[in-house]
Amino acid sequence: MNDNTLLTLRDRISALDLNLLSLLAERRALALDVARSKIASQRPIRDMARERELLKRLVTEGQKRDLDGFYVTRLFQMIIEDSVLTQQALLQLDLNHQEQRSARVAFLGPKGSYSHLAARQYGARYFEQVVECGCQKFSDIVQLVETGQAEYGILPIENSSSGSINEVYDLLQHTHLSLVGEIAIPIDHCILVSGNTNLERIEVIYSHPQPFQQCSQFLGRFPQWQFDYCESTAAAMEKVAQLNRPTVAALVSGQGGALYGLQVLESNLANQQQNITRFIVLARKPIDVTEQVPAKTTLIMATGQQSGALVEALLVLRTHGIVMTRLESRPIHGNAHEEMFYIDVQANLRSGKMQKALRELQAITRSLKVLGCYPSENVLPVDQE
């Protein structure tokens, strides 16, 4: 194949990709119209039966066109997830009478950090314009929102492979801010380079200790590589972009690297395939969550020291059929013998069962605070039969 043929074929692919994008945008606009009709009809946002039927038909149609069923399913699950979350956001904005089109969002780190990606994802879903406020410490994020210099603060709370982020839990104990959202970001560590090179030519890899640790199996295949530890993955990207040499690379997020003009050489390098970080969104005022979307409520409570106090509290949840999705404990500052418990439940704060449970918990705990109720962003795909 000569170069001209290749260029022509690539032009056709590029044009076709633009058409795909237009179709995706058109589909999203239709989903928003569906959401508007659901505001009027009060129907739940998700309709599993419709999704199942839709996917089944697409798999069959895909097979007629020689497209593998697994590929078609994965692709459309992603499209449906976006559709559901976009609809959820519209209902939430409508319910909370949020007319504001732009917001200031505070997050940790310079551009390209995973927190930055989370902030962008949240901002894009809810606002037309986002003013990004990169901070140096978690406590600065909380402070910016508390003092009204930002409307929202994004904080990582847990990672599927390395666990809870204690510093963030501790900050939640002392703030009056409310939890108004959550975002799950898949962490995809990649080898990024500044130009034309290959794995054999690389001599030095820049990254933060966490990605080095999470990708140890892949890195073990290249004993000649020298590791250079940076204070953040964003700093690693900056370094590689600055050096601009074929012998250096960064082990960081592919998406973030695009902001530094870096290219992906290898992707999906973590030892553990599912590597997800969950972020929480903080704001000055709590929000109301429509019953048309799945909601989560986060509580923070201190129980007395008598034996079985925590069990008793959890039994209250069970009595009311409330599912707990997370339980975390942290020491209470200045009180060596007691613990503060953080509980995530799958329930809307306005529901009767949650209100009853809260009243009962109030009576048996030493302190109880609702950190917030927010739409759950965990859109589990429908099971395929």
Stretch that binds ligand ISJ, among 45-53, 202-210, 213-221, 347-355 (CB under 6 A): 45-53
Looking at the Cβ atoms of 259 and 382, the one nearer to ligand ISJ is 382
Interaction of residue 34 with ligand ISJ, rule CB under 6 A: yes
Interaction of residue 88 with ligand ISJ, rule CB under 6 A: no
Q: How far is the CB of 256 from ligand ISJ (least distance, A)?
A: 28
Looking at the Cβ atoms of 87 and 92, the one nearer to ligand ISJ is 87
Interaction of residue 347 with ligand ISJ, rule CB under 6 A: no
Stretch that binds ligand ISJ, among 50-58, 255-263, 307-315, 350-358 (CB under 6 A): 50-58
Stretch that binds ligand ISJ, among 2-10, 80-88, 267-275, 295-303 (CB under 6 A): 80-88
Distance CA 101, CA 105 (A): 13
Interaction of residue 50 with ligand ISJ, rule CB under 6 A: yes
Stretch that binds ligand ISJ, among 78-86, 132-140, 292-300, 339-347 (CB under 6 A): 78-86
Q: How many helices (H) and strands (E) does the chain have?
A: 12, 15
Stretch that binds ligand ISJ, among 83-91, 180-188, 234-242, 251-259 (CB under 6 A): 83-91
Interaction of residue 58 with ligand ISJ, rule CB under 6 A: no
Interaction of residue 84 with ligand ISJ, rule CB under 6 A: yes
Asked whether 123 and 103 are in contact (CB, 8 A), the reply is yes
Interaction of residue 72 with ligand ISJ, rule CB under 6 A: no
Report how many residues bind ligand ISJ under the rule CB under 6 A. 11
Asked whether 282 and 139 are in contact (CB, 8 A), the reply is no
Q: How far is the CB of 194 from ligand ISJ (least distance, A)?
A: 39
- Amino acid making up residue 175: T
Distance CA 179, CA 189 (A): 28
Q: How far is the CB of 76 from ligand ISJ (least distance, A)?
A: 8
Copy the structure tokens of residue 91. Answer: 């209902």
Per-residue binding string, ligand ISJ, 115-134, x by CB under 6 A, is --------------------
Burial (0-12, 13-18, 19+ Cβ within 10 Å), 208: buried
Q: What are the CA-CA distances from residue 165 to residues 155, 171, 298, 312, 377 (Å)?
A: 9, 11, 16, 27, 20
Distance CA 302, CA 178 (A): 18
Interaction of residue 80 with ligand ISJ, rule CB under 6 A: yes
Interaction of residue 31 with ligand ISJ, rule CB under 6 A: yes
Copy the structure tokens of residue 276. Answer: 């997800």
Nearest residue relative to ligand ISJ (C-beta): 83
Looking at the Cβ atoms of 52 and 245, the one nearer to ligand ISJ is 52
Element (H, E) at 278: strand 276-283
Residue with tokens 């395939």: 273
Interaction of residue 90 with ligand ISJ, rule CB under 6 A: no
Copy the structure tokens of residue 361. Answer: 């918990």
Interaction of residue 47 with ligand ISJ, rule CB under 6 A: yes
Q: How far is Cα of residue 359 from the mean position of the Cα atoms in its chain?
A: 32
Out of 73, 83, 277, 298, point to the residue binding ligand ISJ (CB under 6 A). Answer: 83
Interior angle at CA 262, CA 259 and CA 267, nearest 5: 105
Interaction of residue 81 with ligand ISJ, rule CB under 6 A: no
Interaction of residue 46 with ligand ISJ, rule CB under 6 A: yes
Task: State the number of CA atoms in the 13 A half-sphere of 358 facing the CB.
Answer: 19
> Which value, to the nearest 10 degrees, does the dihedral of the CA atoms of residues 151, 154, 155, 160 take?
150
Interior angle at CA 177, CA 99 and CA 302, nearest 5: 145
Stretch that binds ligand ISJ, among 17-25, 81-89, 349-357, 360-368 (CB under 6 A): 81-89
Q: How far is the CB of 93 from ligand ISJ (least distance, A)?
A: 17
Distance CA 364, CA 200 (A): 63
Q: Are strands 295-302 and 367-375 parallel, antiparallel or unpaired?
A: antiparallel
Element (H, E) at 256: helix 254-258
Interaction of residue 103 with ligand ISJ, rule CB under 6 A: no
Binding site for ligand ISJ (CB under 6 A): 31, 34, 46-47, 50-51, 54, 80, 83-84, 87
